[in-house]
Amino acid sequence: MKPLIYITKFLGKDTSVVAVGTSSALALISLFYIYTLGSFFKVVIFPLQNRVTYISFFDAYVIDTYVDHIIIASATLLWMTLALKGKVKFPIIGFYGGMAILGAVSKTPAMMALLDIAALISFPLVMLFVIYNILRPEKKNLRNKTNSLIMNHTSFIAFVIGFLGIFAVSLPIFSIQTSSVPLRNYSYEIFILFGGISAILIVLLIFSLPLKLLSTQLMHVSIRIRGIRVDSFSSASDSIRSRTKAICLLFFVLLSITIGIIPHLPTINKDNQRIGADTDYYVVWVGRLANSSSVQELIGQAFVKKFKQRTGIDRSSIC
């Protein structure tokens, strides 16, 4: 029962209805919006199937186009109803709700496009209100503690998706055919959708510490400008114990090693094929490095000869 109590508290058991409702609605919008945006712009993806990488376009939804857009519009209306206040509330809800309802019940393509438009502008519209509320605190248009649990709810959805994804890819290890279990791997679909910006994500990951320090300082400056006591501001990560951080890091390292081992398991690689097209080259190169007779030869093999073999470029010809 303790894990269940912790989960309910994590999701906002002892907080206000506004915080729980707006945070869960925004987390739900974010999940469905990723699929809608990727499918609308036909993002180029590189799915890996049977050891072959293909070039394709993203065209997938959590359920289907109509249902996804209905869920996005409904969650957006729920967020507006709970979060907005003041004179702007009812005109915005009336305009957005009318457009979504008209598009949902209409049978003509032109009117049905209104639902698609409502889904596409949902997340930017919500972010517009949030940003305006931050930049103009003297003219607040959002209720207090709105979206205070957004990170908790988003993390919970990401955890569930990740767990289901690990479960789906682990089925062949136990000789279970994935076709016999009707379970979509949403984590893989999101992964290949963001694969095109993987380089940017890796750079952000490498520089996560300085970026965090910079964002913290900017937040402190913003708090001082507003006249709020800095003592009341605390980072959520500061309350995490060092032992917990070490356990989490160890878990991530072990998970990375496990993921790297899985393709080599006999139940997965039944015909004992090489994992990756470059494996043969790596075997030869490592063998030559191991047979180096001196440090100079080792360095030359690793950084000169192997560079020429991989790229066909002679470093001496580079100005």
89 and 106 co-located in one domain? yes
More confident residue, 17 or 60: 60
The DSSP annotation for 53-122 comes to E--EE----SS-HHHHHHHHHHHHHHHHHHHB-STTHHHHHHHHHHHHHHHHH--SHHHHHHHHHHHHHH
11 and 113 co-located in one domain? yes
The answer to the question of residue 230 being in a domain is no
182 and 149 co-located in one domain? yes
268 and 296 co-located in one domain? no
Mean pLDDT over each residue of the chain, to the nearest integer? 80
The answer to the question of residue 139 being in a domain is yes
pLDDT-derived band at 146 (thresholds 50, 70, 90) equals: low
Query: How is residue 242 written in tokens?
Result: 């060092």
What are 269-295's pLDDT values in tens digits?
Answer: 777 777 766 677 777 888 888 888 888
Indicate left, alpha or beta for 86 from its phi (over 0: left) and psi (-120 to 50: alpha): left
51 and 149 co-located in one domain? yes
258 and 309 co-located in one domain? no
What are 85-109's pLDDT values in tens digits?
Answer: 888 889 999 999 999 999 999 888 8
Query: Smallest Cα–Cα separation from 118: which of 154, 87, 141, 92?
Result: 92
24 and 92 co-located in one domain? yes
The answer to the question of residue 263 being in a domain is yes
30 and 171 co-located in one domain? yes
- What pLDDT score does 308 carry? 53
| Helix (H) or strand (E) run with residue 128 in it | helix 109-135
Domain count, the chain: 3
Residue 172, amino acid: P
pLDDT-derived band at 311 (thresholds 50, 70, 90) equals: very low
Determine the average pLDDT of the residues in 172-180: 70
Expressed as residue numbers, the domain containing 306 is 279-317
pTM: 0.70
189 and 309 co-located in one domain? no
The answer to the question of residue 220 being in a domain is no
